[in-house]
Amino acid sequence: MSVGIQVGVTPTAPCQYLPRQQEQLAVVMSADYHTPERYGALLAAGFRRSGNLIYRPHCSQCQACQALRVDVNQYQPSKSQKRHRSQLQRLDIKVSEQLDENWFSLYQKYIAARHADGNMYPAKRQDFLDFVSSDWLSPRFIHLYQRDHDQPTLVAIAVTDVVNDGLSALYTFFDPDHRFSLGRVSIQAQLQLADSLGLPWLYLGYQIDACSAMRYKADYYPHQRFINQQWRAFSWPVIPQ
């Protein structure tokens, strides 16, 4: 990264993922880095975005958050992931820069079912749009539709950014009552899109081994984790005979 980048640090606050931990964020202040090209370079240095904000964990007492990216070209699905990929083939996919007109009702249902005890409840339209949108990068919305006899039904949306070397999964919501594992199916949709665009990486955000809700990202092999300022490769673990 350029020497001229300016980064600020937020005050400490209770960690939202690990109890009894405090979190801080390093936030990019340099406006010159708020472009798709430079954000791609920051993403490759372990940063993420929320709206216009570009950040990464900067916790003095904890290094649990590790940016993780899946190697799209070398990816080998597990038995369950092959099932998710098969489920994806039973759905219609639409990639757009605009949200389906029925997105908010699906989002409301998802938040009420999965996050009723968190600060995202009740679902707020503008809060979501502020989170996924930015002034300098337009995300892609991967819509999944159930094939019905009369009209396809929207069942999931994966929000992803397109950068120079990959896709960056930003957020996914889905029908919590659907029989498919739509969160996992949506990852397959992003892997498929990255492959079709010739992009080598799918960035899945921060892996936190000690947080059960965040551990699913490490199930996709091979992948790399950003540890001590460099990407470290992880292949399928060896299972003892």
Listing DSSP states for 164-233 in one string gives: TTEEEEEEEEE-TT-SS-HHHHHHHHHHHHHHHTT--EEEEEEE-TT-GGGGGGGGSSSEEEEETTEEEE
Tell me the pLDDT band of 151, cut-offs 50, 70 and 90. confident
Count CB-CB contacts under 10 A for residue 197: 13
User: Is residue 47, in this structure, part of any structural domain at all?
Assistant: no
User: Is residue 147, in this structure, part of any structural domain at all?
Assistant: yes
Half-sphere exposure of 137 (CA within 13 A, CB side): 29
For residue 145, the enclosing domain spans 69-206+217-223
User: Is residue 89, in this structure, part of any structural domain at all?
Assistant: yes
**Cα–Cα distance, 228 to 127 (Å, whole number):** 33
For tokens 């999965």, name the residue. 114
Counting the structural domains of the chain, the total is 1
Please, which residues have CB within 8 angstroms of residue 184's CB and are 6 or more apart in sequence? 80, 81, 84, 216
Tell me the pLDDT band of 236, cut-offs 50, 70 and 90. confident
* Cα–Cα separations (whole angstroms), residue 48 to 24, 208, 217, 231: 14, 15, 15, 15
User: Is residue 142, in this structure, part of any structural domain at all?
Assistant: yes
Q: Which residues of 6-24 are buried (b: 16+ CB within 10 A; e: fewer)?
A: ebeeeeeeebebbeeeebb
pLDDT of 232: 97
CATH of the domain at 74: 3.40.630.30
What is the tens place of the pLDDT at every residue in 157-177? 999 999 999 999 999 999 999
Asked if the bond preceding 200 is cis, omega within 30° of 0, the reply is no
- The pLDDT mean for the chain works out to 94
pLDDT of 84: 98
The pairing of strands 201-207 and 166-174 is: parallel
User: Is residue 100, in this structure, part of any structural domain at all?
Assistant: yes
Tell me the pLDDT band of 67, cut-offs 50, 70 and 90. very high
User: Is residue 23, in this structure, part of any structural domain at all?
Assistant: no
pLDDT at 239 over 80: no
36-39: long-range contacts, CB 8 A cutoff, minimum separation 24: 36/136, 36/137, 36/163, 36/164, 37/164, 39/136, 39/137, 39/161, 39/163
pLDDT at 221 over 90: yes
User: Is residue 170, in this structure, part of any structural domain at all?
Assistant: yes
User: Is residue 120, in this structure, part of any structural domain at all?
Assistant: yes
